[in-house]
Amino acid sequence: MKKLWQLFLAFARVGVMTFGGGYAMIPILEREIVDRQGWASSEELMDYYAVGQCTPGVIAVNTATFIGYKVAGPLGGVVATLGVVFPSLVIITVIAGVLTHFADIPAVKSAFAAIRVCVCVLIFNAVLKLWKGAVKDKAGLCLFLLVFILSIFLDISPVFYVLFCATAGILFTRWGVRGK
């Protein structure tokens, strides 16, 4: 029971501090789950993110479910998921109740514009962390550049990029390309 309560509280802390969506939560999640709790390594966390990206649902929820399951089985997955969702549910309910009355006020519009800029910075920082953990060799750099270019010109599901990269990673290992 203690482990389940720890899971709920840890993910509630993540959920209450997550502004800007799943990618913006990477630094917060890494600090809480990797550094503070030790429930996953940075590499495992990035793996959960990759799988969470190509499974239905919100990345934050999927990641919480994976880590909760790892720590405490199926019930841990449910508890971690509830923990990450609960703060958003409360905050959004409160905001929805009052926002409609204040949305047209210039100061509120300016505040939301500034928040969007902040979210861009948080996402950019998450990308830099992902970059450092993922692009470690020439093969990783080539995959990054290829997927980056393809994603600019092709409007296809991220699932296909993830599956392509997983296949490429397996082939690179089989051919001895990794690490060069």
Domain residue ranges of the chain, discontinuous segments joined by +: 2-133, 135-180
Q: Which of 13, 21, 67 is nearest to 41 (CA)?
A: 67
Q: Which of 57, 65, 40, 69 is nearest to 133 (CA)?
A: 40
Q: What is the pLDDT of residue 141?
A: 92
Q: Quickly tell me which residue has 């309910």 as its tokens.
A: 93
Query: For each successive 10 residues of the chain (180 residues), what is the average pLDDT?
Result: 95 82 78 94 86 79 93 97 92 85 89 89 84 86 94 92 91 77
Q: What is the pLDDT of residue 21?
A: 67
Secondary structure letter of residue 22 according to DSSP:
T
Task: Look up the pTM and report it.
Answer: 0.67
